[in-house]
Structure 1
């Protein structure tokens, strides 16, 4: 097996005294693991940093064998880790990708969306400029893995306007009029998820609560739940910015 690809580093763990096993997301081959000789060295640690883009080469004698991986830095996002909020966002979105995607299955839409989220974190002057992209990435990931929310129309009336809630049972939108008597049982649906544009902090927190509910219920049970620590760090920092 020989695969050469541009890839996004999603997770790295030490293996042995000097090596590391990295999990990279590629456009055509999906999430791929590989052993990097010397991957835990001082020279390679800045390369194998979550969020970085690398030129990767995977080599293995068979598809069942863990591939040997060599990686050259193509684009570094190391500077963002000096800022707590961007660092927390990158930690979360890459860790989520690494624990939920099956290895070796192509997810080109997720690759493009993850690349877009990371680029937005890098370019936006404040978190309000990229938080919406991060939430939409979570929604896309849920959809690609078979747990998508239906936000196109009301689950009860079928109307497509004034959608204000999401049913926690069905994952389908509910209109303001229909959902008002049951508001305490429904999840708020922030308008910016439907209309686009930049959101206020309160709306961002509501959106994270919405996606967090379904991620927790449908994708991150059992051993995967440990990754939620990264999300809690992110949401805690956003809550401080939002003043609550």
Structure 2
């Protein structure tokens, strides 16, 4: 896209040269886009380029193969949340996961809406019980959008949709309590909120993070992208402290 303007969520930044910054944004219609912000390390622009912030961006490139030049204006800042360790870790992880796994310039409108909702939830209720379940749902949606969705519709053993309680770590298919007899230790617990929605207790949230984390590590965050898991580890450590 040689030239366009859009609202977007800042997902990742990387310093380039002495003064510039390469920025990755998640947009509603164009998916993940990258551009070079001249002066991105300046005192005026640096507070705008914070992961989780909403910006209005203008991108211009001479050719579609060239990294676009980008200018940004702040629409909504989530910088105040960076002083809170747990919300800050959640924002860091959600944005890093998005920037690391999505291909550029491929539309994912459902992911944009979901990430925006997760960030809004973190801002509205910094206590993790208010947003952790939504973050797990976002991880699951991202897996689905990238072709690695979990099949939680029916038991992989019996074919029934009732009393689903586990997920196969190999196939990603749900297993009922009856179908899992004798194999429980080899399966991943399936929290009910991933099927029914709604609120979740701490135990279910932890189970959900273990479940989605297994498939993120196996299917998406491999090779060089594995480094981004450090952000998830920081989040989980802070969640454990909140639970204790």
Note the 1:204-215 alignment, pairs <5 A: 204-215=205-216
Structure 2, unpaired ranges of 5+: none
Give 1:143's aligned residue: 144
Q: Give the conservation status (yes or no) of the 8 Å contact 2:87–2:126.
A: no
| 1:39 is the counterpart of 2:40 | yes
Q: Which residue of 2 aligns with 1:231?
A: 232
- Alignment match, 2:8: 7
Name the counterpart of 2:159: 158
Cα distance in 2 for partners of 1:33, 1:180 equals 49
Q: What does 1:1-244 align with in structure 2 at a 5 Å threshold?
A: 1-243=2-244
8 Å Cα contact 2:10/2:50 also seen in 1: yes
Could you tell me the TM-score, scaled by structure 1's length? 0.98
Determine the C-alpha separation between the residues in 1 that align with 2:216 and 2:188.
Answer: 14
Q: Report the CA distance between 1:180 and its aligned residue.
A: 2.6
Contact between 1:5 and 1:56, CA under 8 Å: does it hold in 2?
Answer: yes
Whole-Å Cα distance in 1 between the matches of residues 181 and 91 of structure 2?
36
TM-score of the pair, normalised by structure 2:
0.98
Contact 1:54 1:75 in 2 (8 A): yes
- Secondary structure of the residue aligned to 1:179 is coil
Q: Within 2, Cα distance between the matches of 1:142 and 1:166?
A: 15
Mapped to 1, the partners of 2:147 and 2:196 lie a distance apart of: 24
Deviations 1:176-198 (A, max 9, x none): 11113101100000112112222
**CA distance in 2 between partners of 1:48 and 1:84 (Å):** 19
User: In structure 2, what is the Cα distance between the partners aligned to 1:133 and 1:103?
Assistant: 24
Gaps of 5+ in 1: none
Q: Secondary structure at the match of 2:29?
A: coil
What CA deviation, in whole Å up to 9, does each residue of 1:71-123 have, x standing for no partner? Answer: 00000000110100000000000000001000010000100111111001111
Aligned-residue Cα RMSD (Å) equals 0.8
Task: Give 1:125 deviation, angstroms.
Answer: 4.8
> Quick check: 1:202–1:242 contact (8 Å CA) kept in 2?
no
